[in-house]
């Protein structure tokens, strides 16, 4: 019975296996993909050290950051109303990595650091009868219902360190698979500052500055699982698609403050939420698609790799700011829970020796 089952399984398994062959290192361009656990382009008679650097040109997007509603009139927000949101600018970042292939263990150790920062500033000025309704102001705290001028400033700093192990195999001559297990540490610091002015205030005093300053900081650490795929199309070129999932034990540190200055008076504080620190696990996804090129030279002792692609990282529920909605009961609030997305072009150069 066992022999019968084995005879049925062998033809199926043969579809996913090919004989192990070694590349011709005398050829300056390795055209054949060796089907072994070392992966596609294994250096020959070298130290097995890999250095890589990436240039990131990304843009950040985040839910729940609308800050004013522009409206015609002072009493109805549905009279040709439009929602205004701050935006981040396209900005440069970097990623550096160090790798080492463990001899005879057919696996790679990798350490990488990703750094990215972005900011954005927007201004909006209107004249009567057009008005601006603040989204983040405390209800009736400043005694004003609408404004004429607004300014938003956003700032984000992103850092991630990954330490992990990976192993590459090729089930088909044109396909390389690399499962990855990492320990990932993540820092995301965000500042949101909004300034509004020009509306009516208490006892007829106009609002000189309604300043709203908020911080949404996060740190998390946990496992990251993923798989990288490379589809060879010949002459060193290939398409790749990578996917990662992180499960992080995280810490949020949130602060929110509103200070209003009226004409002829000093600043008045209506909200000062300094201590909002708590634990909350987070999940994020990473996806990248692109084109790569590899070249072996010096009789297979050195490996040069270039790739470029579109990378997208999604951080679920990263916006943890609170909107206070009730003037009678000031503790009542709505938690935003908006997702953060970082996406854009990633270009990498890699050298193995």
pLDDT at 189 over 90: yes
Burial class of residue 15 (count of CB atoms within 10 Å of its CB; 0-12, 13-18, 19+): exposed
pLDDT at 300 over 80: no
Q: Encoding tokens for residue 272?
A: 């000062």
pLDDT at 325 over 60: yes
Q: Which pLDDT belongs to residue 270?
A: 87
pTM of the shown model: 0.84
Alpha helix segments (H runs only) across the chain: 2-14
Candidates 1.10.287, 3.30.450, 2.40.128, 3.40.50; CATH matching 20-352: 2.40.128
Lowest mean pLDDT among 167-181, 191-205, 308-322: 191-205
* Residues 9-18 pLDDT 10s: 434 333 333 3
Q: Do 182 and 166 form a contact (C-beta atoms < 8 A)?
A: no
Query: Cβ contacts of residue 9 below 8 Å, gap of 6+?
Result: none
Q: Which pLDDT belongs to residue 203?
A: 63
Q: Encoding tokens for residue 2?
A: 């066992």
* Residues 88-140 pLDDT 10s: 999 999 999 999 988 766 789 999 999 999 999 999 999 888 888 888 988 86
Banded pLDDT at 223 (limits 50, 70, 90)? very high
* Residues 41-93 pLDDT 10s: 566 667 889 999 999 999 999 999 999 989 888 777 777 888 999 999 999 99
pLDDT at 210 over 50: yes
Degrees to nearest 5, angle at CA 290 with 233 and 92: 150
- The full set of domain ranges for the chain reads 20-352
How far is it, in rounded angstroms, from Cα 37 to Cα 227? 15
Per-residue pLDDT averaged across 307-322, rounded? Answer: 97
Q: Which pLDDT belongs to residue 32?
A: 37
Number of separate helices (H) and strands (E) present in the chain: 1, 17
Per-residue pLDDT averaged across 334-353, rounded? Answer: 95
* Residues 17-39 pLDDT 10s: 333 344 444 444 443 333 333 34
What is the full DSSP assignment across 223-248? Answer: EEEEEEEEEEEETTEEEEEEEEEEEE
Alpha-carbon torsion (64, 83, 157, 51), positive or negative: positive
- Coil, strand, or helix at residue 285? strand
% of the chain residues with pLDDT over 90 = 53
To the nearest whole number, what is the mean pLDDT of the chain? 85
Q: Which pLDDT belongs to residue 50?
A: 93
pLDDT at 314 over 60: yes
* Residues 270-296 pLDDT 10s: 889 988 999 999 999 999 999 999 888
Query: Cβ contacts of residue 185 below 8 Å, gap of 6+?
Result: 160, 161, 162, 219, 220, 221
């Amino acid at each position: 019975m066992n022999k019968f089952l084995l005879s049925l399984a062998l033809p199926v398994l043969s579809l996913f296996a090919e004989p192990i062959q070694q590349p011709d290192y005398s050829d300056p361009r390795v055209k054949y993909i060796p089907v072994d656990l070392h992966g596609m382009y294994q250096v020959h008679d070298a130290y097995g050290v890999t250095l890589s650097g990436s240039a990131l040109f990304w843009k950040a997007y985040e839910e729940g950051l609308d800050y004013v509603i522009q409206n015609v009139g002072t009493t109805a927000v549905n009279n040709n109303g439009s929602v205004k949101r701050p935006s981040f600018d396209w900005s440069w970042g970097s990623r550096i990595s160090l790798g080492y292939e463990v001899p005879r263990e057919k696996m790679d150790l990798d350490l990488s650091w990703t750094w990215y920062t972005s900011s954005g500033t927007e201004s909006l000025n209107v004249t009567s009868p057009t008005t601006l309704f603040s989204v983040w102001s405390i209800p009736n705290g400043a005694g004003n219902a609408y404004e004429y001028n607004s300014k938003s400033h956003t700032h984000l700093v992103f850092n991630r360190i990954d330490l992990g192990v990976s192993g590459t195999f090729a089930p088909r001559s044109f396909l390389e698979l690399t499962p990855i297990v990492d320990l990932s540490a993540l820092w995301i610091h965000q500042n949101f500052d909004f300034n509004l002015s020009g509306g009516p205030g208490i006892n007829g005093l106009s609002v000189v500055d309604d300043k709203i300053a908020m911080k949404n900081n996060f740190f998390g650490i946990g496992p990251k699982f993923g798989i990288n795929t490379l589809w060879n199309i010949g002459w060193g070129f290939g398409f790749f698609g990578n996917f990662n999932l992180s499960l992080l034990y995280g810490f949020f540190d949130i602060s929110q403050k509103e200070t209003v200055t009226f004409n002829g008076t000093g600043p008045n504080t209506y909200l000062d939420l300094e201590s909002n620190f708590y634990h909350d696990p987070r999940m994020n996804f990473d996806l990248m698609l692109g084109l790569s090129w590899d070249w072996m030279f010096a009789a297979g002792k050195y490996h040069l790799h270039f790739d470029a692609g579109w990378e997208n990282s999604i951080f679920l529920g990263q916006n943890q700011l609170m909107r206070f909605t009730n003037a009678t009961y000031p503790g009542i609030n709505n938690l935003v829970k908006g997702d953060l997305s970082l996406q854009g072009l990633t270009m990498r150069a890699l050298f193995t020796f």
